[in-house]
Amino acid sequence: MANVWEDLRERLDQMSTGYPSTETGIELEILKSIFSEEEAALFLDLTPFPETAEAAAERLGRDAGELGTRLEEMTAKGQLLRTREKGVTRYSTVPFIPGILEFQVKRLAWDKELAQKVEAYAAQGLFITLAAQRQPQNRAIPVNADLVTKWPVAPYEDAVAIVRSHEKIALAPCVCRQLSAQTRAEEDRCQKPIETCMLFDRTADYYVENGLGRLITADEAEKVLKQSEETGLVIQPLNAKEVAGMCSCCGDCCGMLVSLKMQAKPVEGVHSSYYAEVDPEECTACETCLSRCQMDAIRIDEVAVVSRDRCIGCGLCVTTCPTQAVTLIRKTEDELCEPPETHLDLMVELAKERGVL
């Protein structure tokens, strides 16, 4: 097992969002904090495609009972995803983001050393890789579908429709703001709500069974969405029609938005069907929209001016404009991007972009 840590790093780097090496090697320290050598070796034997313990045991020439126990232990540690459907339990490997890191959210509430390592790694390598992606992992959607009533809104772009379409909804802490709470001085910590991430159906089961989140009703989920809008969080479901999870993100500490802001044209790094437009006749240059925008897409030049290269169409600037000078405009058909069908399809497309499929 001499090279198991580098082998594991390379495997994660081949997955959808990557796991690049750094000069400091801090990425290997993180893996050693999360996995034992035996667990790392077993991770390398598994696949991102859901597989029963029996099928994996047959493929690997191992005892099914013993392997099943090991897979359950790794699931409990947030190293694998477990799904249950019609009485059948399957296991699969997951990327570092979204996946292994998010599954450490409970641990990150007390493990300051791990949190500090992750924050350092984000700056040294992870954000750089995320910023270079061409296929967006998340999809920014308007905070309120009523903002764009002039056009038909797809179900996967309507936050309320998304939560209403799922039987189970789990609410979990945002791992990014959890990291902020652990690694920054109190006066520098993000002040936005932490418990804002939603997971649906099978993923919701995983979170609840592993103590990472709690079940809520659709009515409660709508209240969380309203709170997110009021506090200036960008609603971002995973970029697939079948939505497995939905985040409420800020530009201060959210990994996806921070990496987007590093790009010259953030609009190219996230799929959105809308952009904000200001009516100069109605704008009073009150600057309310400046603090609401999480992408630094607005400047004041006698009146507010929106950069199309930076605007991701979240609508946060629209809902608080005192003169209703800002509106969301639907992009032209040639600018629109249809998302993959499922989360797994999205992960496959991201892996193809990295040249590993």
Using one digit for the tens of pLDDT, what is the confidence trace for 177-192?
888 888 877 777 788 8
Distance of alpha carbon 113 from alpha carbon 152, whole angstroms: 48
Question: What does the pLDDT read at residue 279?
Answer: 95
What does the pLDDT read at residue 353?
61
pLDDT at 171 over 60: yes
- Fill in the DSSP letter of residue 89: E
Mean pLDDT of the chain: 87
Q: What whole-number distance in Å separates Cα of residue 5 and Cα of residue 222?
A: 42
Domain 4-128: state its class: mainly alpha
Write out the residue limits of the CATH 3.30.70.20 domain(s) in the chain. 267-335
Q: What's the pLDDT score for residue 136?
A: 60
Angle (nearest 5°) at CA 249 between 163 and 93: 75
What backbone torsions phi and psi does residue 181 show, to the nearest 5 degrees? -65, -30
Whether the pLDDT of residue 4 is over 60: the answer is yes
pLDDT of 89 higher than 60: yes
Report the alpha-carbon distance of residue 293 to residue 280 in Å, rounded: 18
> pTM of the predicted model, to two decimals?
0.86
What mean pLDDT is predicted for residues 161-169?
92
**pLDDT, position 345:** 72
Tens digit of each residue's pLDDT (9 = 90 or more) over 277-333: 999 999 999 999 998 999 999 999 999 999 999 999 989 999 999 999 999 999 988
Distance between CA 265 and CA 102 in Å, rounded? 27
Domain with CATH 1.10.10.10 in the chain: 4-128
CB-based contacts of 15: which residues, under 8 Å, 6+ apart?
Answer: 48, 93, 94, 95, 96, 347, 350, 351, 354, 356
Both tokens assigned to 253? 């500490």
- Is the model more confident about 236 or about 28? 28
How far is Cα 151 from Cα 253, in angstroms, rounded to an integer?
A: 32
Q: Which residue has the higher pLDDT, 274 or 256?
A: 274
Task: Decide if domain 267-335 falls under CATH 3.30.70.20.
Answer: yes
